[in-house]
Amino acid sequence: MEIEIGFLGLGIMGKAMSLNLLRHGFKVTVWNRTLSKCEELVEHGASIGETPAAVVKKCKYTIAMLSNPSAALSVVFEKDGVLEQICEGKGYIDMSTVGADTSSKISEAIAEKGGQFLEAPVSGSKKPAEDGQLVILAAGEKVLYEKAIPAFGVMGKKSFYLGQVGNGAKMKLVVNMVMGSMMNAFSEGLVLADSSGLSQQTLLDVLELGAIANPMFKMKGPTMIKNSYPPAFPLKHQQKDMRLALALGDENAVSMPIAAAANEVFKKARSLGFGDQDFSAVHEAVKATNPST
Ligand X SMILES: NC(=O)C1=CN([C@@H]2O[C@H](COP(=O)(O)OP(=O)(O)OC[C@H]3O[C@@H](n4cnc5c(N)ncnc54)[C@H](OP(=O)(O)O)[C@@H]3O)[C@@H](O)[C@H]2O)C=CC1
Contacts with ligand O=CC(=O)O by CB under 6 A lie at 123-125, 176, 233
- Number of C-beta neighbours around residue 249 at 10 A: 17
CB under 5 to 8 A by kind: which of ligand X, ligand O=CC(=O)O, none does 74 bind?
Answer: ligand X
Complex with ligand O=CC(=O)O: residue 61 or 229, whichever CB lies closer: 229
- Number of C-beta neighbours around residue 77 at 10 A: 14
CB of 125 to ligand O=CC(=O)O, least distance (A): 4
Residue type, position 97, single letter: T
What does each C-alpha distance from 173 to 96, 129, 201, 205 come to in angstroms? 11, 18, 31, 30
DSSP tag of 211: T
Paired strand residues for 30: 7, 48
Give yes or no: 172 in active site: yes
CB under 5 to 8 A by kind: which of ligand X, ligand O=CC(=O)O, none does 14 bind?
Answer: ligand X
Interface with ligand X, residue 33, by CB under 6 A = yes
What residues numbered 58-97 form the site for ligand X, per CB under 6 A?
A: 65-68, 71, 74-75, 96-97
Complex with ligand O=CC(=O)O: residue 56 or 122, whichever CB lies closer: 122
Complex with ligand O=CC(=O)O: residue 125 or 181, whichever CB lies closer: 125
End-to-end CA distance of the chain: 53
DSSP tag of 278: B
Q: Out of 90, 105, 172, 240, which one is annotated catalytic?
A: 172
Q: Which of 109, 20, 21, 49 is nearest to 73 (CA)?
A: 109
CB under 5 to 8 A by kind: which of ligand O=CC(=O)O, ligand X, none does 34 bind?
Answer: ligand X
Quick one: the chain helix, strand, coil %, rounded to 5? 55, 15, 30
* Shortest-Cβ-distance residue relative to ligand O=CC(=O)O: 125
Please give the Cα distance from 127 to 199 (Å, whole number).
28
Q: Do the strands 91-94 and 28-31 form a parallel or antiparallel pair, or are they unpaired?
A: unpaired
What residues numbered 227-246 form the site for ligand X, per CB under 6 A?
A: 232-234, 237
**Active-site annotation, residues:** 172
Catalog residues that contact ligand X under the rule CB under 6 A: 9-14, 32-34, 37, 65-68, 71, 74-75, 96-97, 122, 125-126, 232-234, 237
